[in-house]
Amino acid sequence: MTKIISPSILAADFGNLQAACEMINGSEAQWLHIDIMDGSFVPNISFGFPVLEAVKKHSTKPLDVHLMIVNPEKYISRFAKAGADILTFHYETVENPLSVIELIRAEGIKVGITINPDVPVSVLEPFVDKVDLVLLMTVFAGYGGQKFMDNSYDRIAELKEIIERKKAHCLIEVDGGVNEDNASILFESGVNVLVAGSAVFGAPDPLKTIHNMLNT
């Protein structure tokens, strides 16, 4: 089974993003997660294109970009050009998810769809065979450092059942409150990609934390 760690740069030292990228380059993490927040869909504002471009310049890992913005369809081409390798949008932010999926595909990059914890998993059923990944938020999108929501395990099981029933091949990613303690149970539950911000960048030894998340 595919097991990927995608550390979230949101928890890095923004005064030294190059060092953060280089640390991840030298780690066992396979992807780098980039949180784009607009102060509208979510109450927080993170960063935009210039920071994404700077990270792209220094990162050797695929950039896993998580859009928490209204009207994502307006910006897909710019995010692709700025360096996104995987572009994930929130189902809640669009009227026609299929057309957004097609717009992202047209850029030649991978596409993901995501929902907040209060959105029924069943809304994803029409899309699981049309995307490369489904991201289940395990906290409400907007801030790093929140506590993992325990009802997420039931939601992961429900998503897994839908993916199997539809014989789809998308990866399952979770984001929010992931750490060394819950990584192994999440992988055992069928999750393929773990996003981890504060657990990685706040750790005394981030390389060891990433290693432990993949191997315990």
Ligand X SMILES: O=C(CO)[C@H](O)[C@H](O)COP(=O)(O)O
Looking at 15-23, 78-86, 143-151, 183-191, which segment touches ligand X (CB under 6 A)?
A: 143-151
| Span 7-46, contacts to ligand X by CB under 6 A | 8, 10-11, 33, 35
| Span 189-208, contacts to Fe ion by CB under 5 A | none
* CB of 50 closer than 8 Å to CB of 72: no
Q: Is the dihedral of CA 10, 34, 14, 194 positive or negative?
A: positive
Looking at 48-56, 62-70, 92-100, 124-132, which segment touches Fe ion (CB under 5 A)?
A: 62-70
Place of tokens 């991201």: 135
Residue 114, interface with ligand X (CB under 6 A)?
Answer: no
- For the CB of residue 177, give the shortest distance to Fe ion in the complex, in Å: 11
Give me the residue whose beta carbon is nearest to ligand X.
197
Task: Could you list the beta-strand ranges (E) of 14-157.
Answer: 32-37, 63-68, 86-90, 110-115, 133-137
The nearer residue to Fe ion, 97 or 177, going by C-beta atoms, is 177
- Active site residue: 35, 38, 64, 85, which one? 35
Residue type, 59: S
Residue 173, interface with ligand X (CB under 6 A)?
Answer: no
Looking at 12-20, 69-77, 137-145, 159-167, which segment touches ligand X (CB under 6 A)?
A: 137-145
Residue 97, interface with ligand X (CB under 6 A)?
Answer: no
Contacts of residue 150, defined as CB under 8 A and 6 or more positions apart, other chains included, come to: none
Q: Determine whether 154 is an active site residue.
A: no
State which of residues 11, 12, 31, 66 lies at the interface with Fe ion (CB under 5 A): 66
Between CA 210 and CA 177 the distance in angstroms is 15
Between CA 61 and CA 55 the distance in angstroms is 10
Place of tokens 């907040």: 116
Question: Which parts of this chain interact with Fe ion (CB under 5 A)?
Answer: 35, 66, 175
